[in-house]
């Protein structure tokens, strides 16, 4: 991680963007703890994917917990096929 002052970012923005693009995280501390982190688009997309995966896994965990408490609904294959045919 590279920590850089805001005024240094202004002076040398291409350099710090290149660092972020090449995998480094650029941390910019600011007043009142309004800090900024610069990362590459690929790293941002990876983080978003990890977040979506975590949300999906949490949903599955809730579903498993509901089933363990008897809150699940049981359908036969015939009932499912009938439901699909009605759509």
Pick the CATH number of 1-39 from 3.40.190.10, 3.40.1620.10, 3.90.1300.10, 3.90.320.10: 3.40.1620.10
pTM listed for this prediction: 0.69
Tens digits of residue pLDDT in 40-86: 999 999 999 999 999 999 999 999 999 999 998 889 999 999 999 98
Instruction: Report the Cα–Cα distance between both ends of the chain, in Å, rounded.
Output: 53
- Could you give the C-alpha distances from 46 to 22, 28, 36, 49, in angstroms and in order? 15, 21, 18, 5
39 pLDDT higher than 90: yes
What's residue 16's pLDDT?
97
Alpha-helical segments (H) within 5-68: 6-11, 13-21, 41-68
**Span 27-36, pLDDT tens digits:** 999 999 999 9
């Amino acid at each position: 991680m590279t920590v850089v002052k805001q005024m240094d970012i202004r002076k040398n923005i291409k350099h710090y963007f290149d660092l972020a693009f090449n995998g480094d995280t650029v941390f910019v501390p600011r007043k009142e703890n309004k800090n900024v982190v610069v990362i590459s688009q690929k790293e941002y997309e990876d983080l978003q994917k990890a977040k979506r995966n975590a949300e999906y896994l949490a949903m599955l965990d809730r579903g498993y917990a509901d089933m363990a408490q008897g809150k699940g609904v049981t359908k036969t294959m015939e009932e499912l096929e009938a439901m699909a045919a009605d759509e």
